[in-house]
Chain A
Amino acid sequence: NKNFVGHQVLRIFAADEAQVQKVKELEDLEHLQLDFWRDPAGAGIPIDVRVPFLSIQSVKVFLESHGISYEIMIEDVQSLLEEEQKQMSAFKTR
């Protein structure tokens, strides 16, 4: 199974269309391997993106340098996945 240790899901709040466009620029940078859970839609609509560990620093610097606010929705994707797997195997055991 693919490992998601250190992957975070950021919730981005684009205040205006210019910021939405900035976030869309990120979407085109394939080397960042971003996975948009909620696509950039419009100002005021939350944008959720899963960011691999190796890209987190540069994405956060990018957002902060453009004054785009964000919060961390999921601290570590892998720990949620392990929780999910644990629940499923606990059920199987029962």
Chain B
Amino acid sequence: ARSTDTFSYATYHTLDEIYEFTDLLVAEHPQLVSKIQIGNTFEGRPIYVLKFSTGGNNRPAIWIDTGIHSREWVTQASGIWFAKKITEDYGQDPVLTAILDSMDILLEIVTNPDGFAYTHSTNRMWRKTRSRTQGSLCIGVDPNRNWDAGFGEPGASSNPCSETYRGKFANSEVEVKSIVDFVQNHGNIKAFISIHSYSQLLLYPYGYTSVPAPNHKELDELAKSAVTALASLYGTKYTYGSIIDTIYQASGNTVDWTYNQGIKYSFTFELRDTGRYGFLLPASQIIPTAKETWLALLTIMEYTLNHPY
């Protein structure tokens, strides 16, 4: 594409095309968007985060990531759409403008680059990282079981051949460690939203324990508002609740760690669909999925802006 206006948001893209898109976006909006490299993957690919900022120094920030499970293609595709939407709506949409006038938005579109490249080159069904495990022929760690929150407890596998293999130790995956270091160095992230597919769920901590999160009532009410906003566009129904109550016990997961870091507004999305196509969601559903999800994201971001802590 010669510009982000001619880029097609209604199709799936390769890693190179997504990285080219981010460079185009930064070039078109140098006052608003910058690209930060937070590390390199196991196979040496750069890991990028887009920072949307209208100024200030280390402002309170909202983190959004997509694609931590590489086969969940609608999430990276939605992340591209979100990036463009932010640049289009700043100065136009009063809610987003208010958010960006006081806060930064950090967006990591391809959170598992090695796995994503592998879904394009070799195995479309690949979910994990591509790291090697000593003593095993099986490859990869589930990056959503590798965080230091209940790590090693039930809700993840110790078998390197399992799709939910947690890794030898917490943060063993450089794709995870890079985010951990960035979040801890930044120190002022107020909301953390990690986007998966599928099942149409909006989840909040905890996944590793059935002990309710200290502010689970507030999270539940915010989740309800967010899924209501989402459904207002096409009527897409989401279920919401804590991870362990809504799906199953999942130890070492992202938002349990971010919540335990003090990031109160920590959520996991599971986008479309509920199980007709699953990970193979047709590209025709990318834009509708991104549009409805954006309404939920705006609800969470606006609430975060209006409830500083």
Contact between B248 and A39 (Cβ–Cβ < 8 Å)?
Answer: yes
Is B276 on the interface with A (CB-CB < 8 A)? yes
Within the assembled complex, what's the spacing in Å between the Cα atoms of A37 and B199?
10
Tell me how far the C-beta of B279 lies from the nearest C-beta in chain A, rounded to whole angstroms: 7
Known contacts: A1-B122, A84-B283. The answer to whether A39 contacts B12 by CB under 8 A is no
Is B125 on the interface with A (CB-CB < 8 A)? yes
Contact between A2 and B275 (Cβ–Cβ < 8 Å)?
Answer: no
Instruction: Say what secondary structure dominates the interface of chain A.
Output: mixed
Is B124 on the interface with A (CB-CB < 8 A)? yes
Known contacts: A41-B247, A83-B282, A88-B11. The answer to whether A50 contacts B125 by CB under 8 A is yes
Is A55 on the interface with B (CB-CB < 8 A)? no
Query: What A residues does B12 contact at CB under 8 A?
Result: 84, 87-88
- The listed residue (B11, B124, B161, B164) touching A81 by CB distance below 8 A is B124
Query: What A residues does B277 contact at CB under 8 A?
Result: 74, 80
Knowing that A4-B124, A42-B248, A73-B276 touch, tell me 20 more A-B residue pairs with CB under 8 angstroms: A1-B121, A2-B122, A2-B124, A9-B278, A35-B163, A37-B279, A38-B199, A39-B248, A41-B247, A48-B275, A50-B125, A73-B278, A74-B277, A81-B124, A81-B280, A84-B283, A87-B11, A88-B12, A91-B10, A91-B11
Q: List 24 A-B contacts (CB under 8 A).
A: A1-B124, A2-B122, A2-B123, A30-B161, A35-B163, A36-B163, A39-B164, A39-B248, A41-B248, A46-B275, A48-B278, A73-B276, A73-B278, A74-B277, A74-B278, A74-B280, A77-B125, A77-B280, A81-B280, A84-B280, A87-B12, A88-B283, A91-B10, A91-B11
Report B's interface with A, CB cutoff 8 A.
8, 10-12, 121-125, 161, 163-164, 198-199, 247-248, 275-280, 282-283
